[in-house]
Amino acid sequence: MTRYPKHLRSVLVILTGGLILWSCTSTVEPEPTANPLHVDTTNGHTEIDTAVLRDRMEGYAIQGRDTRDIPFMVRLVEAEEMGTEAIAIMLNTYDSGIEILADIAEKERSQAVAVKIIIDALDIDDPYPEPELGEFLDSTVSAVWNDEIAEGKHANAIDALVAITRVFEFQLKQVIDARPQLHSRAAKYAAEVMYGMNANHFRSMCRYLRNAGIPYSPAFLTQEEFDEETTASNYLQLG
């Protein structure tokens, strides 16, 4: 075993410690902690910090994008667009008769900004740049629009409430199914953000219906998924 003079041993200890510290800091990226989603517990709506979202998305995108993620993300984007359109139609049809939709419509505007940040960071062409009402590239999204939102589907405001809840449920199901199939860190993070936005609106609508004494059964989620999303603890998160 090699013996070093006492003063050299002290120097070697310092140098070794410095090299270990440099190696750790140069190979392991610190995980950002800021969360772009903030739940308002007084009304259950989600505020989106778009500056934090942009920073996180661009940082993850630099680590690499994966073209296999594009079809999944396009479907999620179109499902988001459908939700925005559906709310607008309900508000125009029933005016101020459904107060909760007016509240959600306000939040949808910030979600539209968030979705634009996501597709820009992932370098995805907007599948819906100048749409005609109810026209979607994805056939699954189109089918939900035709079944739930198309003109003449709702006999009254109660029917409309149930229909818009199904749209939010569909959005949530799309993200739940897409998450395990995504590859890049950027797409996975984007899906988590979209999950948070969609789960919040869906739970808010389910709670509203429950409190109004309107039965709601899942149309897209399994019963197990529905029960998990609408447990007492999840409702409690939203106010």
Q: pLDDT band at residue 217, thresholds of 50, 70 and 90?
A: very high
pLDDT, residue 12, reads 38
With cut-offs at 50, 70 and 90, classify the pLDDT of residue 80: confident
Among all chains, which residue has been given the structure tokens 């002290």? 10
Give me the residues paired with residue 88 across strands.
Answer: none
What pLDDT does 20 receive?
Answer: 44
What confidence tens digit (pLDDT) does each residue in 102-118 have? 777 777 777 778 888 88
Q: Read off the pLDDT band of 197 (50, 70, 90).
A: confident
Residue with the bigger pLDDT between 173 and 109: it is 173
Q: What is the DSSP letter of 146?
A: I
pLDDT for 87 = 83
Predicted TM-score (pTM) of this structure: 0.78
**Check whether domain 35-237 has CATH 3.40.50.12280, yes or no:** no
Q: Any idea where the domains of the chain sit in the sequence? A: 35-237
Higher pLDDT, 126 or 24: 126
Amino acid letter, residue 93: T
CB 80 within 8 A of CB 174: no
Angle, helix 99-121 to helix 70-94, in steps of 10 degrees: 160
| Structure letter (DSSP) for residue 30 | P
Provide the H-helix boundaries in 1-147: 6-27, 50-62, 70-94, 99-121, 139-144
Closest CA to 60 of 143, 122, 103: 122
Q: Which residue in 95, 119, 106 sits closest to 204, CA to CA?
A: 106
Structure confidence at residue 135 (pLDDT): 77
Please say if the pLDDT value at position 31 is more than 60. Answer: no
Pick from 29-38, 135-144, 157-166: least confident:
29-38
Is pLDDT above 80 for 203? yes
